[in-house]
A and B are shown apart, each in its own frame.
Chain A
């Protein structure tokens, strides 16, 4: 099969070039601005789907589609080095999917449209970059690029206490990145490298290098805190509900859908990939906090009246499932964790798109104030129901596959370690998490019932309409995928599973 040269670099450059083009398009020409963004998002989507297909169909293994360039290589060992394995590819595909839908979901942004799309595209460059960077330094660099535009995106186009939320989010995440930076510099200097290998940030080298036990314990903890803040671990998650509730639709989609995964991906790629001993000595903490996330997130979600806060807290809860999968640290659980990243990414993207649509029409996010909307917007109600079912893991949706894998993995994990009264810790954790799913079902069904069913207030909501033209894109694509993956998950699990061996060193 003919191969496009440098496919990953193209995926990185497409949004960047589009951002530059948007910058010079006249401000009044909204269609050109939107189309440029949509085309760039489309290119990344097609390209990433195609790469996934090649990777699977040709049965490839390990890192593929490698691009390298010297940056400050000779002096400090920093190189531009991008490549992708199954885990990266599936997350790149998720990102492309969410941004593609996000561009269409923001079709109605008319206030300072140009700057909005510019920042959105810039943000996406950072996200793609983190998933494909195989140089720890570029990993960090892209991470910061992904975090910073968020400040303006929320501060300008947000709602509610947007400036407070924007500053809180930015400072929380930057504190996280300071932890990461210290951990990464530590890894750079502490790695015991083979003879003749000069110091480098190359992840493939760092993951093969040896580290002393004590260093691993400290460094993994630093990285866990650093990445964990972005992944929304309790009790450092408080930026997330505020930030997601204040952010405009596409930004919430991207942030909850993809950006939080950067944190979990970082723990997997750098934490488990390079510091396995350090990871082993902290899994009890990672797992316990993950379950606190699941339980706490779903309970708090139950008490919210603001629809966006419900979704935001459900993200906190679902990210707990991801982290539980990582903590369990076996092949099934890892597969489930990545699966959950993708499932939750699609699901949250869908949810925030829907909340945006509902809010635009009803001008309220207060759950108690709505009712019976399904009669006026059946399409939106259907999509919301699909998302809700996936959220508590109904069989036939992607959420079921992901959660099943994670819980199975957790029951199998560490059968003889971390015993509490003779029972393995992770079995207790898994039981707790499974019970919390019931709570999830409760709040999802409550929201569905309050908003879409019951009597309709004809005076207030009589004139509401269903989704229109471009708004269908996000609903159909994301909703359809939730079901599709739920029914036929094997391509995705194969893709992910092909690359998990590297994280499972004994």
Chain B
């Protein structure tokens, strides 16, 4: 038992970090509240280092408690993504939190709690563990979405998110119960064994579709994307950033665990659904992003489309597809979080998130405009930035698995998406500023944005990360 807990050191440390941060808020010196954000980022980074130490031990996957949890390199990389998300979001929201939130310690604590839930999801070896992780992660996020108490929009976002999220959880449980009824177990390993012996039971097939639908909700794939624009728009902006990246990555971790692990052995019927989700997300997400005037809604729809790209990697159902998905999600964390942090700064200064607020940004704040430009170009998949490589590997995996049509849709959708990304670039660089106020920089958020941009530019040389992802994906299949 003690040895098994030892294996779960990163998870337990994350849980401790959540509690420590909440307690730290109690002993704060009055008027000095910003250090907690730095402290929480430091804790998150410390856990990342612990995780890095585990890498060598996980050359072979380790199964805990008879398979309830599975520790492997794939899960480890996902955990790194979640914790880096906590770190960047913590630093990025230091000023925002100090201005808007009353309970700062709890805010950072909830980030850690949700990361803990996501880590459970990424290591789940059992439908129930997965559910536990899903709920821990989601419940924290529901609270975070409604965290700006003064803003009615934020309350609305939290409400919508919890109602729709609870529905998704119910669907998941229903699907899981069908699977249990069909196979008699909730362990992935046993389900997979069962499938390879007796083929796909109809109950298993239907249950699998329900489970997939629940995670499609989590990653905001069409047609389960309806909540995203409203929640993204209403939630406090740094929370939106976290929601749109780490939480999305957790959804993908779960999909990889469930679909590519137990279900796919002997059955490829699931792929049709994944392909449909992917194609619809790319087309609908990009089309709906075109007419948006609010940048958070635009980024929400762009996020729907990005989920569609990442699903190409899942649909490829191969080593290559998995590693492409991990790479994509890793770079997407920094790209999209960076975008939302810029939105945080501009929104705090101007007071709204309309794209017109960005007019003449390059004159009001050249550095910020440049950062946003780089980020937008990366989202649009312009070489040599990280988003370009992310899409290249995904499409490449798609072509290799014969998904020509899907890749063609993806390439065309990317060209389309550049239109609305460039419209923001145009607002920043071409439109005159008129009498819009200058932008007040927030130092911590600026540091976080710089880190994001450095990663986006640095991944122009994707070799090292790709070789890590290759190892992770190789251990999984």
Contacts and interface: CB of A to CB of B under 8 A. Distances in A.
Interface string A67-110: 00011101110000000000000000000000000000000000
A163 B430 contact: yes
A170 B467 contact: no
A431 interface: no
Contacts of B422: 151, 167, 170
Interface residues of B, number: 30
B383 A155 contact: no
Contact of B383 (A140, A156, A170, A171): A140
A178 B415 contact: yes
A163 B426 contact: yes
A152 B399 contact: no
B463 A145 contact: no
Contact of B396 (A76, A155, A163, A171): A76
A148 B382 contact: yes
Chain B CB within 10 Å — which of A74, A76, A115, A170 has the most? A76
A70 B384 CA distance: 15
A121 B443 CA distance: 31
A189 interface: yes
A189 B383 contact: no
Contact of B425 (A144, A152, A171, A181): A152
B45 to A, nearest CB: 27
Interface string B390-405: 0001011001100000
A74 B411 contact: no
B461 interface: yes
A185 interface: yes
Contact of B418 (A74, A152, A155, A170): A170
A175 interface: yes
A141 interface: yes
Contacts of A435: none
B463 A70 contact: yes
B269 to A, nearest CB: 26
B13 to A, nearest CB: 33
A182 B418 contact: no
Given A151-B422, A175-B415, A189-B399, A182 B408 contact: yes
A174 interface: yes
Given A71-B463, A72-B466, A141-B384, A148 B415 contact: no
Contacts of A178: 411-412, 414-415
Interface in B83-101: none
Contact of A71 (B407, B412, B461): B461
Contacts of B384: 141, 145
Interface string A285-323: 000000000000000000000000000000000000000
Nearest to A181: B411
B462 A72 contact: yes
Contact of B466 (A75, A167, A170): A75
A174 B430 contact: no
Contacts of B399: 185, 189
A156 B430 contact: yes
B372 interface: no
A479 to B, nearest CB: 34
B189 to A, nearest CB: 29
B454 to A, nearest CB: 14
Contacts of B429: 115, 152, 155-156
A76 B429 CA distance: 37
Contacts of A71: 461-463
B463 A72 contact: yes
B430 to A, nearest CB: 5
Interface in A31-78: 70-72, 74-76
B395 A185 contact: yes
Nearest to B422: A151
B467 A74 contact: yes
B284 to A, nearest CB: 19
B273 interface: no
Contact of B411 (A145, A155, A156, A182): A182
A171 B430 contact: no
Interface in A159-183: 163, 167, 170-171, 174-175, 178, 181-182
Interface string B353-391: 000000000100000000000000100001110001000
A170 B426 CA distance: 13
Contacts of A163: 426, 430
Contacts of B414: 178
B27 to A, nearest CB: 43
A175 B418 CA distance: 11
Contacts of A151: 422, 425
Given A75-B466, A182-B408, A185-B396, A155 B430 contact: yes
B63 interface: no
Chain B CB within 10 Å — which of A74, A145, A185 has the most? A185
Interface in B428-462: 429-430, 461-462
B383 A144 contact: yes
B35 interface: no
B419 interface: yes
Chain B CB within 10 Å — which of A140, A148, A175 has the most? A148
B418 A174 contact: yes
B196 interface: no
A171 to B, nearest CB: 7
A141 B383 contact: yes
A145 B381 CA distance: 11
Nearest to A154: B430
Given A76-B396, A144-B383, A181-B411, A155 B426 contact: yes
Contacts of A74: 467
Contacts of B382: 144, 148
A176 B466 CA distance: 29
Interface in B110-167: none
Contacts of B462: 71-72
A261 B301 CA distance: 37
B318 interface: no
Interface in B259-315: none
B470 interface: yes
Contacts of A72: 462-463, 466
A84 B292 CA distance: 46
Contacts of B461: 71
Contact of A189 (B400, B411, B425): B400
Chain A CB within 10 Å — which of B382, B383, B426, B470 has the most? B383
A171 B411 CA distance: 13
A311 B362 CA distance: 33
A70 B407 CA distance: 26
A152 B430 contact: yes
Nearest to A114: B366
Nearest to B416: A171
Nearest to B323: A75
Interface string B238-251: 00000000000000
Nearest to B381: A144
A167 B290 CA distance: 14
A151 B426 CA distance: 9
Contacts of B426: 155, 163
A148 B470 contact: no
Q: Which 6 pairs, one residue from A and one from B, show the smallest C-beta to C-beta distance? A: A141-B383, A155-B430, A144-B383, A174-B415, A178-B411, A178-B415
Given A155-B430, A163-B430, A170-B422, 6 more contacts: A72-B463, A148-B382, A152-B425, A156-B429, A174-B415, A189-B400
Interface of A: 70-72, 74-76, 115, 140-141, 144-145, 148, 151-152, 155-156, 163, 167, 170-171, 174-175, 178, 181-182, 185, 189
24 contacts: A71-B461, A71-B462, A75-B470, A76-B393, A115-B362, A140-B383, A144-B383, A145-B384, A151-B422, A152-B430, A155-B426, A155-B430, A156-B430, A163-B426, A163-B430, A170-B422, A171-B419, A175-B415, A182-B411, A185-B395, A185-B396, A185-B399, A189-B399, A189-B400
